[in-house]
Amino acid sequence: MRCYPISWIDNIIVFTFLFGLVCFGWLQGLKNKTSSDYFSGNRNVPWIIAMFSIVATETSVLTFISIPGIAYRGDWTFLQLGFGYILGRVLVSFLLLPKYFENSITSIYEIIGEKFGSNIQKTASFIFLITRVFSDGIRFLATAVIVQVITGWPLPSSVLIIGVVTLVYSLLGGIKTIVWIDSVQFILYLLGGVSTIIFILNHSSESGYQIASSLYEMGKLKTISFSGNVVFNPYFFISAVVGGVFLSLSSHGVDHMMVQRVLITKDLKSAKKAMIGSGVFVVFQFFIFLIAGSLIYYFYQGISIEKDREFSTFIVQSLPMGLKGLLMAGILSAAMSTLSSSINSLASSVAVDWYRNSISLVQSKWISLVWALVLISIALLFDESDSAIIIIGLQIASFTYGGLLGLFVLSKIQRHFRSSSVIIGLISSFLIVFYLKQIGIAWTWFILIATSINVFITLLIDYSHSFLSSRKR
């Protein structure tokens, strides 16, 4: 893979950005006195900062790079998922957040523990830990590969630079540092998309209206799709919206990393505003990067470019000094916001779900260090050629989210469940998703079906056991 070393000016921009993150983490970390400060930030973070942090956290480099690629190769039907994202977060705000704030929890899996006992709580936490470690470890690797392409830095150096800087400010500052830096990073990489749009429009002989008309005639701006099969096409309108709803409901309702961002706001009202607002902003973000991808297609006249390399190719080949450094900082921002959030949420879940919040601030930081080293190790151990590992890592959430969401649905049912029934339901949900993937069902249906299977099997097993027990008596 060809690399394009960046100029000394761009390098200065990038390293100034990285140094600033470390300094901010150090200054903020002086205010942390307890593990509660470290993981909860005294629960006084402004809702708008929490909102930006949510968007930044869910935006990995894969999003930053891949969405323009989707527009370059196709159209805007990906945006249909965003409509579901907003609705899903409305449901999270009114169905799940009140329960979280009512109980003043630090980890959302405490709700599972109250209903099913500590063993099931640890099981839910374990599923979350596995999901985050593999999916975010692989995302970290993907980031390092992109950085390598743009800068010419060796892959191990890219991994270590990103990992060490993220580790330092996360370790020093805790959750409050992370969400504030997330907000800055969100603005930075969004500016990267906007600057791309402005650059292409300024260097075109045609007006914006003429460019839009040309792209429209080529079908590049198509947003709503009713073509194909609703069961097998993930971008059929109904499939995309339903998939977006359940993906958002699970990722932002039962994934501790995302929910942690709203738990550190001052009250339920603030949390709802942050959660729903993040849905609106993520759709806006998708819109910006889809526009960028379409304009890059126009800029290159539709020439064939390696998949998901469209945006990075444009950055290294067409942008001037300074602007290239800004885009590089944007790519690093997208990566580091996800990585830092992952480190803190992994440590938070271990501290609360496994050690009952009985550990000190120093111990909390040691746990964060361990998880950071695990994520860095995953990125160092694998490379792009390990395609099977990468695919599994990126798809693991689709296998686990349905099971987790099913647990929270079951927690609302007024019934005492046997642990064995819950475990069988969980395993069944994982197996059904694996089967659906093998027969080609659109991934947008995975979470809905897995959640339904988990709830149905758990209820069936538990009621069957109760019935058989009563017959024996």
Domain harbouring 276, CATH code: 1.20.1730.10
Residue 225 CA to residue 212 CA, distance in Å, equals 19
Residue 231 CA to residue 236 CA, distance in Å, equals 8
| Residue stretches of the chain with pLDDT short of 70 | 1-6, 62, 383-395, 472-473
Please, what's the largest Cα pairwise distance for the chain? 86
Q: Pick from 401, 379, 403: which is nearest to 389 by CA?
A: 379
**Burial profile 363-376: b = 16 or more Cβ within 10 angstroms, e = fewer:** ebbebbeebbeebb
Residue 433 CA to residue 421 CA, distance in Å, equals 19
Q: Tell me if 429 is assigned to some domain.
A: no
451 and 253 Cβ atoms separated by less than 8 Å: no
Tokens of 339: 């990585």
Q: Pick from 180, 147, 152, 141: which is nearest to 339 by CA?
A: 141
State phi, psi for 462 to the nearest 5 degrees: -70, -45
Q: pLDDT tens-digit profile of 387-399?
A: 544 455 556 777 7
Show the domain range for 314: 8-384
Residue 197 CA to residue 314 CA, distance in Å, equals 12
131 and 344 Cβ atoms separated by less than 8 Å: no
Tokens of 204: 């075109």
Residue 223 CB burial class (10 angstroms; 0-12, 13-18, ≥19): middle
Total of domains in the chain: 1
Q: What is the pLDDT of residue 392?
A: 58
Q: Tell me if 464 is assigned to some domain.
A: no
Q: What is the pLDDT of residue 85?
A: 93
Q: Tell me if 443 is assigned to some domain.
A: no
Residue 168 CA to residue 344 CA, distance in Å, equals 12
Q: Tell me if 456 is assigned to some domain.
A: no
Number of helices and strands (H, E) in the chain?
A: 19, 0
Coil, helix or strand for 330?
A: helix
From start to end of 64-153, where are the E strands? none
Q: What is the pLDDT of residue 1?
A: 46
What is the chain's mean pLDDT, rounded?
A: 86
Q: What is the pLDDT of residue 46?
A: 93
Q: Tell me if 440 is assigned to some domain.
A: no
Residue 387 CA to residue 376 CA, distance in Å, equals 18
Q: Tell me if 378 is assigned to some domain.
A: yes
What is the radius of gyration, based on Cα positions, of the chain? 22
Residue 50 CA to residue 42 CA, distance in Å, equals 13
Q: Tell me if 426 is assigned to some domain.
A: no
Q: What is the pLDDT of residue 75?
A: 94
Q: Tell me if 357 is assigned to some domain.
A: yes
Residue identified by tokens 């209903």 is 115
